[in-house]
Amino acid sequence: MNDKNWLDKDKNLIWHSMFRYGSGKEPLLVKKAEGINIIDEKDNHYVDGLSGLWCVNIGYGREEMARCTYDQMVEMSYTALTNSHLPAVELADKLNKWLDDEYVFYFSNSGSEANETAFKLARQYHHQNDNPGRYKFISRYRAYHGSSFASLAATGQSHRKYKYEPLAPGFLHIPPPDCYRCPFNKEKANCELECVSALEQTIIYENKNTIAGVIMEPVITGGGILVTRDDYFKKVEEICNAHGVLFIVDEVICGFGRMGNRFGYMQYNVSPDIITMAKGITSAYLPLSVTAVKRSIFDKFKEPGDYEHFRHVNTYGGHPAACKVAVKNMEIIEEENLIDNTKKMGNILEKKLQILLNNKNVGDIRCKGLLAGIEMVEDKKTKKPLKEEKVGQIIAECKDKGLIIGKNSDTIAEYNNILTLAPPLIISEKDIDFIVDILRNVISSHFPS
C-alpha cells in the first residue's frame, strides 16, 4: 500500500488526540524511531524535542526493552493484581529504593488513572480517619492532571473542560506560581509567595474540615513550564500538615529523571503523602502508572469492616510485562547515569536558549532539568501573548526543518503561546545545538529583531 493510501485510511478510521479536523493539516505518520529521532513514512528524519508526549525518557528503539517484554510475556503474560506476581513486587521494591522512603503502590495504566486513584483513596482515608467531610481537592490554575472526570476537574485549564462539564464536584483552584505573569502583580524582588498564601486562604475559606488534599506538579508542565521558587513547596507542605490536608505530588511528567533528580519533588526537600507517576516510568515502552501512598495512610485500609478496604480494581494495572519493563527502564537510567546527563544537558540547554531572548517576540524562557518553556509575545513591554496561530506556524516550520516541539495547547483563553521542550534524557550537546539553531532561525525568520 502506498503512502497516500495509508493516510487516507488514517483519515477515515482514526480519531487523533487533540487534532483539529477541518484544519487541512495531516498527522505525522511515523514508521520508525531510534534514539532521539523519529522517521516518517517518507523517510524524513526528525529530532523529537518533546519525547513523544513527555514520556520517552531513555529514547527510542532499545532492543533490551523489547527483549524484556518478550521474555516476560512468554514466561507469564498476565496475572491480575487481585493476586500478585514477581515483576510487580520487584518494581515496588525498586521504587521504594528510588524514593528512599516507605510507600505502598497501587498500579494503573495512565497518569489520569493514577490521579483518579489518589483522589478516591484520599477521600476514603479521611472517612476512615473520622473526617468524612473532607472531600475537596485544591489544585492550581493552568496545571494539567488528566482527562477523566475527576482528574480533569483537578486540571486548571478551562479549554480542556469546556463542553464536558459538569465534572466531578469538590475541586478548587488557586493562582499558579507564574513569576512572568504574577497574578498578584509582584516582581521577583518583592515576591512574598502570595500564591502560597492563597492556598492557606482557600483552605480556611472553604473550612479546612472539608479539604481532603492538595495536588501539584513540581513544575506546571502542560500549562507552560511554570517553575516555582525553591521554597514554594516547603511552604505548601507546611500548610498541608498544619491543616490535616494530604499533600499529593503529580510526578507523571516530572519524575524518572526529567528534572535532574529521581523525582522532581526531591529538589524541594518535601515528603509527599501521595505520589502519582506514569510516562517516564517505562519511557512509554508499555503503559503503566503508579499511585504511591505512605504506609501510615495505607494502614487505615487494613482495619476490619465490610467497607474499609479499597474497593477499586484495574484490569491491566501492573501488567507483568509493563512492570518488568519499568524495572529495566530504571536500571538503564541508573547504569547510563541519565539523571546526571539531565542535569548537565539541562544547564547547557538553559544557557544556550538565552540567545532567543534577543528576539523582540520572546518574552521569557523557563527551564528545569530537561523541561523548557519559551513564552512568545506580541510585545515585551505589555507581555501580550502571541496569537496561537502564529505559535502554530513556528511549530510547523520547526517540523519542516526536522524538529518536533510542542506548545501548551487548549489550556486557557489567549495563553496558548508557550513553546515547550522535553527531549529524551539521552540528549547530547550536539543535539541541543541543533534544537537551538532551528528555533533561533525559525523565530527570527517570522519575527526579525
The tens place of each residue's pLDDT in the chain, 449 residues long, gives: 566 688 888 888 999 998 888 777 888 999 999 999 999 999 999 999 999 999 999 999 999 999 999 999 999 999 999 999 999 999 999 999 999 999 999 999 999 999 999 999 999 999 999 999 999 999 999 999 999 999 999 999 999 999 999 999 999 999 999 999 999 999 888 999 999 999 999 999 999 999 999 999 999 999 999 999 999 999 999 999 999 999 999 999 999 999 999 999 999 999 999 999 999 999 999 999 999 999 999 999 998 989 999 999 999 999 999 999 999 999 999 999 999 999 999 999 999 999 999 999 999 999 999 999 999 999 999 999 999 999 999 999 999 999 999 999 999 998 999 999 999 999 999 999 999 999 999 999 988 87
Asked whether residue 299 falls in the same domain as residue 363, the answer is: no
Contact 318, 81 (CB under 8 A): yes
What's the pLDDT at 2? 63
Contact 374, 418 (CB under 8 A): yes
Asked whether residue 248 falls in the same domain as residue 131, the answer is: yes
Beta bridge partners of 40: 30
Alpha carbon distances (Å) from 80 to 48, 76, 277, 318: 35, 11, 20, 8
Asked whether residue 136 falls in the same domain as residue 251, the answer is: yes
Residue range of the domain that includes 407: 3-58+337-446
Domain end marker among 282, 305, 335: 335
What's the pLDDT at 18? 87
Task: Report the chain's C-alpha Rg in angstroms.
Answer: 22
d(CA 326, CA 322): 6
Residue 39 backbone phi and psi in degrees, to 5? -130, 130
Domain end marker among 335, 369, 396: 335
Asked whether residue 290 falls in the same domain as residue 376, the answer is: no
Q: Which residues contact 189 (CB under 8 A, 6 or more apart)?
A: none
What's the pLDDT at 11? 85
Share in percent of the chain as helix, strand, coil (round to 5): 40, 20, 40
Q: Which residues contact 433 (CB under 8 A, 6 or more apart)?
A: 352
Asked whether residue 203 falls in the same domain as residue 237, the answer is: yes
The domain spanning residue 390 has which CATH number? Answer: 3.90.1150.10
d(CA 184, CA 141): 14
Asked whether residue 236 falls in the same domain as residue 175, the answer is: yes
Asked whether residue 191 falls in the same domain as residue 298, the answer is: yes
d(CA 292, CA 92): 9
Give the DSSP per-residue string, 125-178. HHHHTT-TT--EEEEETT----SSHHHHHH---HHHHTTT-S--S-EEEE----
Angle at 37 between CA 36 and CA 43, to 5 degrees: 175
Asked whether residue 320 falls in the same domain as residue 350, the answer is: no
Length of the chain: 449
Helix (H) or strand (E) holding 363: strand 362-367
Closest CA to 422 of 346, 362, 351: 346
Asked whether residue 115 falls in the same domain as residue 52, the answer is: no
Residue 277 backbone phi and psi in degrees, to 5? -140, 150
Asked whether residue 329 falls in the same domain as residue 410, the answer is: no
Q: Within 13 Å and on the Cβ side, how many CA atoms surround 303?
A: 13
d(CA 321, CA 168): 33
What's the pLDDT at 4? 67
Chain centroid to CA 127: how far? 29
Domain end marker among 289, 315, 335: 335
| CB crowding 40-66: b at 16 or more within 10 Å, else e | eeeeeebbbbbbbebbbbbbbebeebe
How many domains is the chain partitioned into structurally? 2
The domain spanning residue 217 has which CATH number? Answer: 3.40.640.10
* 3-state SS assignment for residue 399: helix
Beta bridge partners of 282: none
Q: Which residues contact 346 (CB under 8 A, 6 or more apart)?
A: 260, 367, 368, 369, 370, 371
Contact 323, 288 (CB under 8 A): yes
Beta bridge partners of 420: 373, 406
| CB crowding 132-148: b at 16 or more within 10 Å, else e | eebbbbbbbbbbbbbeb
d(CA 174, CA 445): 38
Asked whether residue 127 falls in the same domain as residue 220, the answer is: yes
| CB crowding 204-221: b at 16 or more within 10 Å, else e | eeeebeebbbbbbbbbbb
Asked whether residue 260 falls in the same domain as residue 134, the answer is: yes
What's the pLDDT at 27? 87
Residue 100 backbone phi and psi in degrees, to 5? 55, 45
Query: In what side-by-side order are the strands of the sheet with 136-140?
Result: 103-108, 289-294, 274-277, 246-250, 211-216, 136-140, 171-174
What's the pLDDT at 1? 54
